[in-house]
Amino acid sequence: MNKRNRIATGIWLGLWWLTMLPVAQAQNGFPSQPLDGTYLREWLLLGPFFPGDLAQDFLAAAGGEAQVDPQAGDRVVTARGDTLVWKHYQSPENVVDLLNAVGQVQHAAVYAFCILDSDSAGEYQMLLGSDDGAAVWINGKRVHYNPADRSLFLDQDR
């Protein structure tokens, strides 16, 4: 019997932030996406957070970025006292347009979350492009950190 492995993926985009968590922590009913080489288009988004500082854990009061397990509609109160809501977003293209998704903001951070589905356990390569910095978590561990000040190019980080 072929057992399917699932990985929950959370991200911060804007300063793009990618977090991958084990499925055991992601019992949120959010649709999974196959690891089939295509772009990820279905997300839960939360933001914007100001200032867009890649080194800052904006979810610290809610357990931290490495432990994120959101559901659509979950609320988070920011350090500034704003209440933000995790919202379902499906990108019509290969790029997640954060200006369209969360509003016309600059120098902000946005978290994103998705669930990935795999036929087998193993090592996988994820490509990521970002407008400014990016960080990646897998199973609660940060495995990539690039605080670059840059323009977006597809697949610029591996």
One-letter amino acid at 25 equals: Q
Question: Residues 35-72: pLDDT tens digits?
Answer: 666 777 888 899 998 877 888 899 988 888 888 888 99
Measure Cα distances from 68 to 60, 96, 121, 131 in Å. 10, 20, 22, 22
pTM of the predicted model over 0.75: no
Question: Residues 80-114: pLDDT tens digits?
Answer: 888 999 999 988 888 778 778 888 888 888 887 87
Cβ-Cβ contacts under 8 Å for 75 (sequence gap 6 or more): 83, 84, 85, 86
Domain boundaries, the chain: 5-146
